[in-house]
Amino acid sequence: MTSYTPTSENKFTFGLWTVGNIGRDPFGGPVRDVKSPVELVHLLAEVGAYGVNFHDNDLVPIDATSAERDHIVRDFKAALSETGLVVPMATTNLFTDAAFKDGAFTSNDPKVRAYALQKTMNAIDLGVELGAKIYVFWGGREGTETDASKDPITAIKRSREAMNFLCEYALDKKYDLKFALEAKPNEPRGDMYNATTGHMLAFIETLDHPEMVGVNPEVAHEHMAGLNFVHGVAQAMESGKLFHIDLNDQAFGRYDQDFRFGAVNLKSAFFLVKLLEDNKYDSSRHFDAHAYRTEDYEGVKDFARGCIRTYLVLKEKVAQFNADKEIQALLAEINANDSSTDQYFGKYSSKKANELKAQTFDREALGKRGLGYERLDQLTIDLLLGVR
């Protein structure tokens, strides 16, 4: 048993917008007072976070003068050095301002597209100044309510042109920066382009600098689409594209809930932590969630500590699963290699193909074999419920 105390190796981060969420929703106004970025850094230090991420306007208001900007950045840097928190990731707010009501990079209005590029370059400068090595792109308004309004192929081309331009900008400035694209199927738009991590992975391969660009999958976003998040993350990892991850939780089929990590789907959270830990995921474990609207700032701290604690408990459960003799014996049995077909696998040859076509298989016996997955799953459940 550990005490579930986070260390810098866990790289647990939160956005200013997560613990700073004031509980506004479409049906009601704020329930918590606004806290300044400096106050939020101190709150995050208190709950044991390693780092803090931000959108440009979480830190510097959209209408700040350059003197105000410098003042804010100076205070923020002081809070970082006082607390030891780092800024691993930054991003641009391309969704709040009314100018972006019909998208940023995919807007039909070239002035909006140009402004979005300008705002992103400035936000990249800000992020890099504060130490960010990952830059996230979440296209909150890149989508439609009616497909009468935009040609979806044009939208893809505009997104590509923007990403290529911004990659060149980062290279031109010699920034040590990678981009991570975050998909979401809907909300705030009726439908958003590049709706899932899978769409993003395909899109990245069409860019001029695919090596600079990976993904930032979010639990809630894939669950909103009814997908298996663990599988999406695995695909990103297997192709070397998991640059960042947004951890939270979400009931399937609901609105964008942004619940505390592990609050809803404990079992899938377990397999996610297992995937990340077994494969030595090394970037930020970023909690992109917020406290229930019922909470005050003590509740916000409970929320943040809860995200961290659940992750660490599940990490311990992963170690227990990996060391469990009965579970491991079952897995070894399931994965037992039968070398009688080895000659058919690997690189293709026509000789191999012909031999394989001539081989006979006992189809009935193959179909009859029980696989023991019920037992395996129940052992997993027992382990998660703490009775193993």
- Residues forming contacts to Mn ion in the complex (CB under 5 A) are 218, 246, 288
- To Mn ion, the closest distance from the beta carbon of 180 in angstroms equals 10
Nearer to ligand GCO, 6 or 20 (CB): 20
Q: Is 142 in the site for ligand GCO (CB under 6 A)?
A: no
Residue 249: name its binding partner from Mn ion, ligand GCO, none (Cβ under 5 to 8 Å by kind).
Answer: none
DSSP secondary structure string for all residues of 220-245: HHHHHTT--HHHHHHHHHHTT-B--E
- To ligand GCO, the closest distance from the beta carbon of 246 in angstroms equals 5
Per DSSP, 100 falls in state G
Q: Is 49 exposed, middle or buried (0-12, 13-18, 19+ CB in 10 A)?
A: buried
DSSP secondary structure string for all residues of 49-83: -SEEEEEHHHHS-TT--HHHHHHHHHHHHHHHHHH
Question: Residue 46: which residues within 8 A CB-CB, separation 6 or more?
Answer: 301
Interaction mask 76-115, ligand GCO, x per CB under 6 A: ---------------x------------------------
Determine the size of the site formed for ligand GCO (CB under 6 A): 10
Per the CB < 8 A criterion, the answer to whether 387 and 378 are in contact is no
Q: At what angle are helices 37-47 and 297-323 packed, to 10 degrees?
A: 40
Neighbours of 308 (CB within 10 A): 23
Tell me, yes or no, if 58 is annotated catalytic.
yes
Tell me, yes or no, if 286 is annotated catalytic.
no
Nearer to ligand GCO, 229 or 321 (CB): 229
Per CB under 6 A, contacts with ligand GCO among 53-72 are 55
Q: Is 260 in the site for ligand GCO (CB under 6 A)?
A: no
- Binder to ligand GCO among 136, 242, 245, 247 (CB under 6 A)? 136
Q: Is 116 in the site for ligand GCO (CB under 6 A)?
A: no
**Residues assigned a catalytic role:** 55, 58
Residues interacting with ligand GCO, by CB under 6 A? Answer: 55, 91, 136, 138, 182, 184, 218, 246, 256, 288
